[in-house]
């Protein structure tokens, strides 16, 4: 009874004016038509990973539950949403819809096109982020008719007043989290571009360097190094080298923590 009352108290969700489209020949794809204001736009649901060389081109929105691998292409007249890793090429609003968006949990596409605006991304220009992202057209200034904006990576435009594709965290929570991360990184970099070390970071770096030196000494000269403090006859040289490997690994961990934290 308690569970029933708790369930009854939850807000109910209503999906209005939704009808199923024609049945697809693929068991992994469904087509739904939903009302958006005064117009209808199809939504194609693809529940699989797109391998390299595969092409998906549809009218309306496209939702993919899976990954979009390198050398695969997704094209839609509406929005494109990927619940997975987006690494291939994607074209949203291929009929000129400049309000279309491209969203992905892991946003690493090789190329993004929205309407006639192109962004060439590539692994060398974009770094993976720990939050979902959405790409949309940004209009920084009035543009000439027929202008084509092109950017490389996140945020740098290829033309002054031309439209560009802006990639940002998807949702207010992720935007705030990303802003805090940028402030934290900026606080660790001085005006000359050099990394600033806090007191705990300095201590961790010093400890790590000491452990690396000690570990390498135990590994390369186990008896001589161990004999400085202990009797080498009480332990086999092999075990001394094992301790050296462990010490060196801990040293790398300490140094990495000091640099990356």
Give the model confidence (pLDDT) of 186-240 as tens digits: 545 554 455 556 677 788 888 989 999 999 998 888 888 888 888 888 888 889 8
Delineate the domains of the chain, giving CATH numbers in brackets: 14-174 (2.160.20.70), 199-260 (no CATH)
Average pLDDT over residues 50-76: 94
Euclidean distance between CA atoms 204 and 127, whole angstroms: 27
Whether the per-residue pLDDT at 36 is higher than 50: the answer is no
What percent of the chain has pLDDT above 70? 62
Neighbouring-strand partners of residue 81: 63, 103
Residues with Cβ within 8 Å of 120's Cβ and at least 6 positions away in sequence, in order, are 110, 111, 150, 151, 152
Dist CA 133 CA 171 (whole Å): 8
pLDDT at 104 (0 to 100): 92
Query: What pLDDT is stored for residue 249 in this prediction?
Result: 92
Q: Does the pTM of the predicted model rise above 0.75?
A: no
CB 48 within 8 Å of CB 62: no
CA 128, CA 160: separation in Å to the nearest integer? 27
Q: What is the pLDDT of residues 126-177, one digit of tens each?
A: 556 677 888 999 887 554 544 444 444 444 444 456 888 888 887 766 666 6
């Amino acid at each position: 009874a308690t569970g029933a009352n708790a369930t009854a108290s939850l807000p109910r969700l209503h999906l209005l004016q939704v009808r199923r489209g024609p049945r697809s020949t693929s068991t992994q794809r469904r087509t739904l038509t939903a009302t958006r204001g005064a117009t209808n736009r199809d939504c194609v649901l693809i529940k699989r990973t797109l391998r390299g060389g595969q092409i998906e081109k549809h009218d309306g929105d496209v939702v993919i539950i899976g990954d979009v691998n390198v050398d695969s292409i997704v094209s839609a007249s509406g929005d494109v949403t990927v619940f997975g890793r987006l690494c291939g090429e994607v074209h949203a609003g291929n009929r000129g819809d400049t309000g279309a968006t491209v969203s992905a949990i892991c946003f690493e596409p090789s190329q993004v096109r929205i309407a006639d605006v192109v962004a060439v991304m590539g692994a060398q220009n974009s770094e993976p982020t720990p939050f979902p992202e959405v790409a949309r057209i940004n209009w920084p200034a009035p543009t000439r008719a027929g202008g084509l904006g092109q950017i490389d990576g996140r945020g740098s435009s290829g033309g002054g007043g031309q439209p560009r594709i802006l990639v940002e965290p998807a949702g207010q929570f992720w935007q705030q989290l990303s802003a805090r991360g940028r402030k934290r990184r900026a606080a660790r970099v001085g005006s000359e571009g050099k990394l600033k070390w806090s007191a705990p970071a300095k201590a961790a770096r010093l400890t790590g360097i000491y452990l690396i030196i000690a570990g390498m000494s135990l590994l390369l000269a186990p008896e001589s190094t161990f004999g400085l403090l202990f009797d080498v006859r009480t332990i086999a040289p092999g075990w001394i080298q094992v301790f050296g490997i462990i010490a060196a690994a801990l040293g790398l961990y300490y140094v990495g923590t000091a640099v990356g934290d």
